[in-house]
Structure 1
Amino acid sequence: MNEVLSQNEIDNLLSAISTGDMEPAATDTSSEDTFDKTLTKSSVKMYDFKRPDKFSKDQIRTLQMMHETYARLTTTSLSAQLRAVVNVHVASVDQLTYEEFSRSIPNPTTLAIINMDPLKGSAIMEIDPTITFAIIDRLFGGEGEALKQNRELTDIELSVIEGIIVRILGNLRESWSNVIDLRPRLGNIETNIQFAQIVPPNDMVVLITLETKIGDVEGMMNFCIPYITIESIISKLSAQFWYSSIRKGGSSENLDLIREQLKEIDIDLTAEIGTVTMTMSDILQIKKNDVINLNKNMNTEFTLKIANRKKFLCRPGQVGSRVAVQVVRQIEELSEKILSEIISEENHHE
């Protein structure tokens, strides 16, 4: 137990200190110095109380994995519809306020308001003008070039891009299927963010940015989801839950969808009537009305190629006013004997 000093003892101590007979105890600052050095050496992250983090790192990673699936499906569906080389991949997944998102997008742009049934609330899919006009140009028969100067969409262009958005929303449903049976519906399309205030400015949202390339044109698609929209399923946005759902059969559903989408891709078929080898000197002398003898006659079966790969043997013919071919059989099903006969016949004609 600490002893209580009497008044006389207190007076004697004060007198000794004032005359220099006793030094005051030194203040222990070692712990403070250590604390200051720790702050200096370590990285300190500022916390903004105006925009508190709503999503954990695990939830952000899960959203990224979900939308990587969406990006792959969208790559396939857009490639089939535009008949062009399309590449879509996730560039980033961030959380920010809706006001920050609003300030980051151009005006005008394409803003699709999406009803996230059965979740409460809406989300926004923003397609920047570079990608929007490249899609429109491609569907209208062009090369898929972007406009040099941004402008508003016409009514016809708006209708065309609406069809594209509805199509790729199906991919969104598939990519979320391991978490929830999402049924996204297109509400309306705006071109000005002021008319697309789905949540208050200070509300937190997660922004999935998809880097999109159509031919030589590059741009962004942004998917903005408010926290309040997915708050009811936030516990399911974990890698453990997502992977466990995949093991229950989600991956087979993805494969079925990809197979269905692949059926819509256009593939070139080429009927190779015959070939001939010529010297460069002969080629340079070719002129109008010259006749070039091929290595086959009219009664010989020739090759039908699919994507530049030999697949069928065919015979030439005519249907109405058009030249046609009749498929005889698949090359893979030919026996060694038949193949040798065909090769022998071709060598004979040479």
Structure 2
Amino acid sequence: MSEEILSQTEIDALLSAISSGEMDAEELKKEEEDKKVKVYDFKRALRFSKDQIRSISRIHENYARLLTTFFSGQLRTYVNISVASVDQIPYEEFIRSIPKMTILNVISMEPLEGKILMEVNPNIAYSMMDRLLGGKGNSDVQPESLTEIETTIMTQMFEKAVVNIQEAWSTIVEIDPMLDEFEVNPQFLQMVSPNETVVVVSFNTQIGDVSGMINICIPHIVLEPIIPKLSAHYWMESATKERDPEKYAILSKHMEKVELEAKVILGQSNITVNELLQLSTEDIISLNQKIQDPLTLEVNGEPKMHVQVGTVHKKVAVQVMDHIERRSLS
């Protein structure tokens, strides 16, 4: 158990309050004993550690970026999707928290067992559909009144969005996600038992002037085989794995062909507009560069090296003297 260390000033203030009768020592002792008892709800069993929840959050932050790019291209309007929260709750609690009529996409995650659920707030789903049909992104269609054509349009759109899950999860496991069902009533879905722990990832979603939530519900059975990979230790190991020599050679070869702009700054000077207008042939402009000082070589506008001017084969050239260390922003 972690202990809180008080400063001398806080200790003096506490002793003074007890001496003056403002605080009761017995009452403080009782409060300390009460703190040792922690309420635990067995219906809300926490089956994932904070470290594992952070890993799931990282995966879906990447997925949010992929969805933002995908929907921006599909809808041709401003789209912003970001992770709002990642929580573990009973499945029953998640079902009660979403609208009675909403857009539900059941997604299989082969080769992982079980399925995940993507719930899209009606405001967001109908705005997407309205944009696809040539509208401005505003719609008041109700889920229960969707026509077969509207259902088909939404299904095809979310089928394409599901593909991005594969790339987002690729750092952990290779999966082949597929949209299995499209539903509007959560009461018709019973993916797992009501008390089963699920991880709910909530996304803040902005499409034009319309905002709402997209929720992804991931049952424990889906994540169970990959739980060891949802640790910081695994992520650090993955980041420090030995690089593939063949891929490194190909990447290096491509990098060698990248063009950069390199230029040497001979000096600078500040003059007024009036002085500029008065310039004529054989006038001299004094630069702030001393002859004995090295010049600066810039690469793509960033200072990289100190150089000195000379000639090579009757052409003007510069010789590198030293590198310019990049300054930290702190």
Amino acid in structure 2 at the alignment position of 1:125: M
The aligned counterpart of 1:115 is 108
Q: How far 1:166 sits from its partner (Å)? A: 1.2
Decide whether the 8 Å contact of 2:103 with 2:143 is kept in 1.
no
How far the C-alpha of 1:87 sits from its partner, in A, is 0.3
Q: CA 1:139–1:148 in 2, change beyond 3 Å: closer, same or farther?
A: closer
Where do 5+ consecutive residues of structure 1 fail to align?
A: 1-31, 253-350
- Residue correspondence of structure 1 range 23-172 to structure 2 within 5 A: 36-39=30-33, 42=35, 45-147=38-140, 151-172=144-165
Deviation at 1:104, TM superposition (A): 0.7
- Identify if the C-alpha distance between structure 1 residues 180 and 66 changes in structure 2 by more than 3 Å, giving closer, same or farther: same
Residues 294-314 of structure 1: per-residue CA shift (max 9 Å, x gap):
xxxxxxxxxxxxxxxxxxxxx
Identical amino acids, percent of aligned pairs: 47
Q: Is the 8 A contact 2:82 2:203 kept in 1?
A: yes
User: Number of residues paired by the alignment?
Assistant: 220
Matches within 5 A, 1:173-192: 173-192=166-185
Q: CA deviation at 1:150?
A: 6.0
Q: Distance in 2 between matches of 1:175 and 1:101?
A: 23
Q: Quick one: which of 213, 217, 224 aligns to 2:217?
A: 224
Aligned to 2:262: none
Residue 160 of structure 1 aligns to a residue whose secondary structure is: helix
Q: Would you say 1:241 and 2:234 are equivalent positions?
A: yes
Instruction: Verify the 8 A CA contact 2:104 2:118 in the aligned structure 1.
Output: yes
Whichever residue aligns with residue 189 of structure 1, its letter is F
1:50 partner amino acid: K
Deviations 1:82-127 (A, max 9, x none): 1011000000000000000010111211111111111011110000
Q: Counterpart in 1 of 2:198?
A: 205
Please say if residues 113 and 196 of structure 1, whose CA atoms lie closer than 8 Å, have aligned partners that are also in contact: no
Q: CA deviation at 1:152?
A: 3.4
**In structure 2, distance between residues paired with 1:246 and 1:80:** 31
Mapped partners of 1:243, 1:212: distance in 2: 31
1:100 aligns to what SS in structure 2? helix
TM-score of the superposed pair, with normalisation by structure 2: 0.62
Gaps of 5+ in 2: 1-25, 248-330
- C-alpha separation in 1, matches of 2:143 and 2:183: 15
Supply the AA of the counterpart residue of 1:167: K
Q: Amino acid of the residue matched to residue 36 of structure 1?
A: K
2: distance between equivalents of 1:130 and 1:55? 32
* Secondary structure, aligned partner of 1:50: helix
Shift of 1:241: 1.6
SS state at 1:159 partner: helix
| Counterparts in 2 of 1:149 and 1:232: CA distance versus 1, 3 Å | closer
1:221 partner SS: strand
Q: CA 1:169 to 1:44, structure 2 compared with 1: closer, same or farther past 3 Å?
A: farther
Cα distance between partner residues in 1 of 2:28 and 2:136: 65
Distance 1:101 1:110 in 2: 14
Match of 1:84, SS state, is coil
Give the direction of change, closer, same or farther, for the CA distance of 1:201–1:165 in structure 2 (3 Å limit).
same
Q: What's the offset of the Cα at 1:45?
A: 4.5
